[in-house]
Amino acid sequence: MVQICGFATVGVTPLTADGTVSFKADHTVASSVVYSYRLNVLVPPVCNTGASEASCAAYATAISGGQDGASDAHCNYDPVAGCSCSWTNTESSTISGTYEVMQVASVWITTSPVTNEVDDYCVAGNTLTLKRREGDTIVTTILTR
């Protein structure tokens, strides 16, 4: 990834996920999901006093060539604003493992690569909602059939 200075700004679009997650009657769980999001970076002239159209184009090349999952990288140069770049990042995740219903609203999931977690869940119609705590954050995953 290109190193940038503290005056640069970074924006990230909401994460999208596409794929499948299966909780089967034999207590196995498997998933194959592709996550994607778009990054937008503005590197102002103060970060690169020798900035030019050519150096801005080099950022796009570096992003595409040095970032796993990066695609559709575009950079535009403006002498006043600096170099504005955007690209899409895509990451795949595949897990398999087992699950066990522990309480009325909790499930224990053990997966490979090895992770163990307890998720709260709710099933309503064709929707399964899983909630788990990661530090001070509650992560909600909504799965629909």
Q: Using the 8-state DSSP alphabet, how is residue 144 labeled?
A: E
Q: What is the pLDDT of residues 2-34, one digit of tens each?
A: 455 778 888 899 888 888 888 888 988 888 989
pLDDT tier, 124 (very low <50, low <70, confident <90, very high otherwise) = confident
pLDDT tops 60 at residue 37:
yes
Residue 63 dihedral angles phi and psi, to the nearest 5°: -65, -50
DSSP-derived 3-state class of residue 56: helix
pLDDT tops 60 at residue 114:
no
Give rounded-to-5 percent helix, strand, coil for the chain.
10, 65, 25
Q: What is the pLDDT of residues 65-74, one digit of tens each?
A: 766 788 888 9
**Average pLDDT of 92-103?**
78
pLDDT > 90 fraction of the chain, expressed in percent and rounded: 11
Taken in order 76, 81, 83, 88, the sign of the CA dihedral is: negative
Task: Determine contact, residues 10/39, Cβ cutoff 8 Å.
Answer: yes
